[in-house]
Amino acid sequence: MAICKTIAIAALLLVFASLFANSQSQQTLLYPIVQDGKWGFIDQTGRTVIAPQFESVDLFQDELARVIDHGKVAFIDTSGKIVLRPDYEIVREFSEGLAAVNNGEKRNPQIGIIEDPGRWGYIDKTGQLVLPMKFTHAESFSEGLAAVELDKRTGFIDRTGKMIFEVPLDVTLEFKEGLVGVLFKGGVSYYDRAGKKLGTPPLDYGPSYHSFSEGLATIDTNGKSGYIDKTGRLVIQAEFIDAEDFREGLAPAQVMGEMRWCPADANGSRYGSPKSFGYIDTNAKMIIAPQFEYAAPFSGGLARVSTCSKAGFIDKTGKVAIPMEYAEAFSFRGPLAQVRKSGDQNFSYIDKTGRVVWPRSK
């Protein structure tokens, strides 16, 4: 997804980043910044290492970042040097050394539906086409496999293009911890790397889908959220209004409780809700009491939470570690998190003490 210079899209960088935090843990961590409508990168100290010069950027994957340079897709290395300019109509990010590319895809501009899928293939980091342009659907590689469609057959291929197993699919979640979520015609199922389907309770086809994390996956059944293990067994009962992934031994879970009211605004209006998030452990014990409008999974010992339209960070005891003073806050990726205060037109990066690392003070 190319990232334009609006704040709304800029904020999505850290949402996207959180999905790949684990996969980037062994790579160089660089953070996107925007100045005067141009994008570049800083390091964890706030030092600019790639000067703002691109129309948009994505996060680094496989030590390369996809950027838009003079209206065209290119890939840069961690020094900012353009190392590849693929000549395809659609170019996705690299994952496990390969990137899906497409020519000929056509979408209905009014509703976004694909009218002609064109043909997909995969290139390596040199730009060489290593899997030919023959697929009508192609997803990124994860744990050595990628979901594709070829001659009306759908399933998962390995890096040589060999079909490892076939399964009906519309789109999939990435493989994590040896399992993958597959969405097909209003249903969600999980499969192992051999194509064996997990026996699970009936799963709702809701707006949120989860891969496995720390041996468990959040699922919805009968309108409530719970967790299955890697055998498909429901090990934490579906009794929550909403729930997020386990990270660092805890997971956000939303329950119904007493009505909580926010302070009145300047017009005397106020709002409240009986729903609130707390944090449970893998035994479903509520470790941090429900008290937040929203709560994200932990990352590096801190979790972003929000209440009454203000966001901040708590530690694993539930104590506020970084004050609830932000209009927007996004989970830590490594040592830094992206935040924005009310009235600010751009985002900042803070460290785990709450100190602003970027923009640097003049």
Give 86-103 pLDDT, tens digit per residue: 999 999 999 999 999 999
Calculate mean pLDDT across residues 10-37: 59
Calculate mean pLDDT across residues 105-113: 89
Q: How confident is the model at residue 25 (pLDDT cuts 50, 70, 90)?
A: very low
Q: Which of 134, 166, 198 is the last residue of a domain?
A: 166
Query: Do residues 168 and 187 touch, judged by C-beta distance below 8 A?
Result: no
**pLDDT at residue number 16:** 38
pTM for this entry: 0.89
Question: Is pLDDT at 217 greater than 70 in this prediction?
Answer: yes
Whether 133 is in a domain gets the answer yes
**pLDDT at residue number 18:** 37
Length of the chain: 362
Calculate mean pLDDT across residues 111-121: 93
* Total domains in the fold of the chain: 2
pLDDT, tens only, 137-160: 999 999 999 999 999 999 999 999
Q: Which of 147, 166, 185 is the last residue of a domain?
A: 166
> What phi and psi values does residue 8 have, to the nearest 5 degrees?
-60, -45
- How far apart CA 107 and CA 113 sit, in angstroms, is 5
Which structural domain range is residue 143 located in?
86-166
Whether 40 is in a domain gets the answer no
Q: Which of 166, 188, 213 is the last residue of a domain?
A: 166
| Helical (H) or strand (E) element with 170 | none
Q: Coil, strand or helix: which one is 12? A: helix
Whether 33 is in a domain gets the answer no
Q: How confident is the model at residue 265 (pLDDT cuts 50, 70, 90)?
A: confident
Own/partner long-range contacts of 271-276 (Cβ < 8 Å, ≥24 apart)? 275/241
pLDDT, tens only, 155-192: 999 999 999 999 999 999 999 999 999 999 988 999 99
Strand 114-116 relative to strand 286-292: parallel, antiparallel, unpaired?
unpaired
Whether 67 is in a domain gets the answer no
Q: How confident is the model at residue 24 (pLDDT cuts 50, 70, 90)?
A: very low
Question: Is pLDDT at 73 greater than 80 in this prediction?
Answer: yes
Q: How confident is the model at residue 207 (pLDDT cuts 50, 70, 90)?
A: low
Strand 90-91 relative to strand 82-84: parallel, antiparallel, unpaired?
unpaired
**pLDDT at residue number 330:** 97
One DSSP character per residue, 304-338 reads: EEEETTEEEEE-TTS-EEEEEEESEE---BTTBEE
Mean per-residue pLDDT over the chain, rounded = 91
- How far apart CA 155 and CA 289 sit, in angstroms, is 43
Q: Taking the CA of residue 319 as centre, how many other CA atoms within 13 Å lie in the half-sphere pointing to its CB?
A: 3
**pLDDT at residue number 267:** 86
Question: Is pLDDT at 10 greater than 80 in this prediction?
Answer: no
Per the structure block, which two tokens stand in for 146?
Answer: 């990628």
Whether 194 is in a domain gets the answer no
Query: Residue 49 CA to chain centroid, in angstroms?
Result: 24
Interior angle at CA 246, CA 243 and CA 250, nearest 5: 95
> What phi and psi values does residue 107 have, to the nearest 5 degrees?
-115, 150
Whether 28 is in a domain gets the answer no
Query: Do residues 226 and 236 touch, judged by C-beta distance below 8 A?
Result: yes
Whether 46 is in a domain gets the answer no
Question: Is pLDDT at 119 greater than 80 in this prediction?
Answer: yes
Share of the chain above pLDDT 70, in %: 92
Whether 12 is in a domain gets the answer no
Query: Residue 54 CA to chain centroid, in angstroms?
Result: 22
Torsion of CA 10, 11, 13, 16, to 10 degrees: -150
Omega cis (within 30) before 274: no
